[in-house]
């Protein structure tokens, strides 16, 4: 198969929707020889922050000489972003080859009378097979949705389980209370495997602790870990903290938003527990370098500075509040234009309320997704909330429109990652064009 044929084949599985449950995935992995059982997996769940925590861990482990894989979702610009090994995305050729092999096993699965896997299950199986071919020390594995029935939840003994946060999202699948959502995400907890938990809601945290105790899994709660910020600037933060008795002084991170310090503290705790368990040896200088070099595209990412052009995939209530706090910390009293596009299945009124605390001026646009909320509908909701808004449905036209505006200090693109990926590609292309002209 060509690369495009491979993508078309993978995406053809979208028709099977999103169905939680491990029966299909368990059998598919058996047909592939259960490669996931031979991997040192750092399994990361959570409503928000899991992608950033994964990036910190991936960067630090590589800097310390560990051959490390990374599986994340969704992608921003290229499908191959989802599967990385030692700093390189899976090649188009390897993706095609691994997909063909896994599809053979899918045919066998269906011939046995089982339902077809979903698209995400297929991609996860492809990733596991690809990683099994590498000489890999660790796999940093991001949960797709929830935990209990997520297709990543097929190994019996990961190295460590991580739950980065619990807030409202995907409630049609995970439940309508934080406790119910926590129970779903706690499904990644395995007997005797350490759990690092950064969950602030007491009811949700108690549910996780209860499940961990039932499985004999030690829990390391980190919400009370103190840190002191030394320096805050447009290129990141420098802070001090103490993790499991180990001092980290003057640790620098380049990811923006004060919530990224908490994500870094979560990642540090994971590393310290792995060290305590004898699974890693860390050089402090290399660890500091790993944190400083860690990047997570599309999360408070500054694409330009005159004016500041920022993109952020804040698509749920907690993410929007973190973005609002970051903007207020870094750009107080600045004139801000927000370009917003979200999916129709989100808590629209709540997102309008939170984003409305950032600015009074908006451009409503649409994510590159069949689940998009129409720009006209979003614009009307913003206007009803007392905001100025125009609707520009096409993201490329929205980028062109704001490019001609010079009265703002900050132009902030926010909402669905499907929008942010599209916008990042457009802005990146424009940046390259400007550079080539110069």
pTM of this structure: 0.92
pLDDT averaged over the chain?
A: 93
Q: State residue 414 phi and psi, 5-degree precision.
A: -145, 155
The DSSP code for 216 is: T
The enclosing domain of 129 has a CATH number of 3.40.1190.10
Residue 429's pLDDT is: 54
Does position 430 have pLDDT exceeding 90, yes or no?
A: no
Q: Give the pLDDT mean for 300-313.
A: 92
Select from 67, 96, 62 the least CA-distant residue to 79. 96
Got the DSSP string for 405-438?
Answer: --S-SEEEEEE-HHHHHHHHHHHHHHHHHHHHH-
Q: What is the number of domains present in the chain?
A: 2
Q: Are residues 154 and 223 in the same domain?
A: yes
Strand-pairing partners, residue 66, are: none
Query: Which domain-ending residue is among 236, 268, 293?
Result: 293
DSSP three-state, residue 390: strand
Q: Are residues 131 and 265 in the same domain?
A: yes
What does DSSP say about strands 236-243 and 160-163: parallel, antiparallel, or unpaired?
unpaired
Q: Are residues 215 and 108 in the same domain?
A: yes
What does DSSP say about strands 68-71 and 195-197: parallel, antiparallel, or unpaired?
unpaired
Select from 206, 156, 157 the least CA-distant residue to 186. 206
Q: Name residue, tokens 């600045």.
A: 334
What does DSSP say about strands 361-364 and 336-341: parallel, antiparallel, or unpaired?
parallel
Strand-pairing partners, residue 243, are: 246
What digits encode the pLDDT tens for the residues 191-208?
A: 999 999 999 889 999 999
What does DSSP say about strands 388-391 and 361-364: parallel, antiparallel, or unpaired?
parallel
Distance CA 185, CA 43 (A): 11
pLDDT-derived band at 16 (thresholds 50, 70, 90) equals confident
The length of the chain is: 438
Q: Are residues 285 and 421 in the same domain?
A: no
Select from 359, 403, 352 the least CA-distant residue to 373. 352
Distance CA 6, CA 14 (A): 14
Query: Which domain-ending residue is among 265, 293, 321?
Result: 293
Distance CA 270, CA 68 (A): 15
Structural domain harbouring 417: 301-437
Which pair of tokens denotes residue 257?
């938003």
Residue 358's pLDDT is: 96
Distance CA 286, CA 25 (A): 37
Give percent of the chain above pLDDT 70: 97
Find out whether the peptide bond into 74 is cis, omega within 30 degrees of 0.
Answer: yes
Residue 306 CB partners (closer than 8 Å, separation 6+)? none
The packing angle between helices 178-185 and 202-214, to 10°, is: 30
Element (H, E) at 84: strand 83-85
Q: Are residues 314 and 237 in the same domain?
A: no
Q: Are residues 275 and 337 in the same domain?
A: no
Does position 434 have pLDDT exceeding 90, yes or no?
A: no
Select from 329, 340, 248, 328 the least CA-distant residue to 292. 248
What digits encode the pLDDT tens for the residues 73-119?
A: 888 999 999 999 999 999 999 999 999 999 999 999 999 999 999 99
Q: Are residues 288 and 337 in the same domain?
A: no
The DSSP code for 357 is: T
User: Taking the CB of residue 64, how many other CB atoms lie within 10 A of it?
Assistant: 20
Q: Are residues 309 and 276 in the same domain?
A: no
Q: Are residues 233 and 351 in the same domain?
A: no
pLDDT-derived band at 233 (thresholds 50, 70, 90) equals confident
Q: Name residue, tokens 């929008």.
A: 419
pLDDT-derived band at 298 (thresholds 50, 70, 90) equals very high
Which pair of tokens denotes residue 304?
């330009």
Q: Are residues 228 and 138 in the same domain?
A: yes
User: Taking the CB of residue 16, how many other CB atoms lie within 10 A of it?
Assistant: 16
Q: Give the pLDDT mean for 138-157.
A: 94
The enclosing domain of 378 has a CATH number of 3.90.190.20
Distance CA 237, CA 63 (A): 20
Helix intervals (H) in 282-374: 284-293, 317-330, 348-356
Q: Are residues 236 and 340 in the same domain?
A: no
What digits encode the pLDDT tens for the residues 319-378?
A: 899 999 999 999 999 999 999 999 998 889 999 999 999 999 999 999 988 889 999 999
What is the CA angle 81-319-79, rounded to 5? 15
Got the DSSP string for 271-321?
Answer: HHHHHHTTS----HHHHHHHHHH---TTSSEEEEETTEEEEE---SHHHHH
Select from 189, 158, 195, 164 the least CA-distant residue to 55. 164
What digits encode the pLDDT tens for the residues 239-248?
A: 999 999 999 9
Q: Are residues 310 and 427 in the same domain?
A: yes
Query: Which domain-ending residue is among 276, 293, 310?
Result: 293
Distance CA 99, CA 102 (A): 5
Residue 27's pLDDT is: 97
């Amino acid at each position: 198969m060509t690369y495009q044929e491979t993508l078309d084949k993978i995406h053809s599985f979208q028709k099977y929707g999103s169905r939680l449950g491990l029966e299909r995935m368990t059998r598919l992995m058996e047909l592939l020889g259960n490669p996931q059982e031979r991997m040192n997996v750092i399994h990361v769940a959570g409503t928000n922050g899991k992608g950033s925590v994964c990036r910190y861990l991936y960067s630090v482990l590589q800097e310390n000489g560990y051959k490390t894989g990374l599986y994340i979702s969704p992608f921003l610009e290229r499908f191959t972003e989802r599967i990385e090994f030692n700093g390189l995305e899976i090649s188009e050729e390897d993706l095609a080859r691994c997909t063909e092999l896994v599809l053979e096993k899918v045919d066998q699965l269906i011939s046995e009378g089982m339902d077809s896997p979903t698209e995400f299950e297929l991609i996860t199986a492809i990733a596991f097979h690809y990683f099994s071919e590498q000489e890999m020390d660790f796999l940093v594995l991001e949960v797709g949705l929830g935990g209990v029935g997520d297709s990543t939840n097929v190994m019996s003994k990961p190295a460590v389980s991580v739950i980065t946060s619990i807030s409202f999202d995907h409630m049609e699948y995970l439940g309508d209370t934080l406790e119910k959502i926590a129970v779903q995400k706690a499904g990644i907890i395995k007997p005797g495997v350490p759990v690092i938990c950064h969950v602030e809601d007491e009811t949700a945290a108690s549910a996780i602790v209860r499940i961990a105790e039932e499985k004999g899994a030690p829990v390391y709660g980190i919400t009370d870990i103190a840190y002191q910020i030394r320096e805050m600037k447009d290129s990141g933060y420098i802070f001090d903290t103490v993790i499991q008795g180990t001092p980290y002084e003057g640790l620098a991170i380049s990811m923006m938003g004060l919530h990224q310090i908490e994500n870094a503290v979560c990642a540090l705790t994971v590393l310290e527990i792995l060290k305590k368990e004898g699974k890693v040896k860390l050089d402090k200088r290399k660890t500091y370098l790993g944190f400083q070099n860690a990047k997570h595209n599309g999360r408070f990412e500054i694409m330009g500075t005159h004016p500041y052009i920022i993109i952020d995939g804040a698509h749920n209530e907690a993410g929007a509040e973190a973005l609002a706090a970051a903007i207020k910390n870094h750009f107080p009293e600045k004139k801000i234009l927000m370009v917003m596009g979200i999916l129709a299945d989100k808590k629209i009124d709540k997102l309008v309320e939170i984003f409305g605390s950032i600015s009074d001026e908006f451009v409503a646009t649409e994510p590159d997704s069949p689940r998009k909320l129409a720009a006209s509908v979003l614009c009307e909701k913003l206007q009803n909330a007392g905001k100025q808004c125009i609707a520009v449905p096409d993201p490329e036209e929205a980028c062109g429109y704001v490019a001609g505006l010079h009265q703002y200090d900050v132009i902030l693109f926010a909402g669905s990652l499907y929008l942010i990926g599209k916008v990042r590609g457009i802005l990146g292309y424009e940046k390259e064009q400007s550079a080539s002209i110069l």
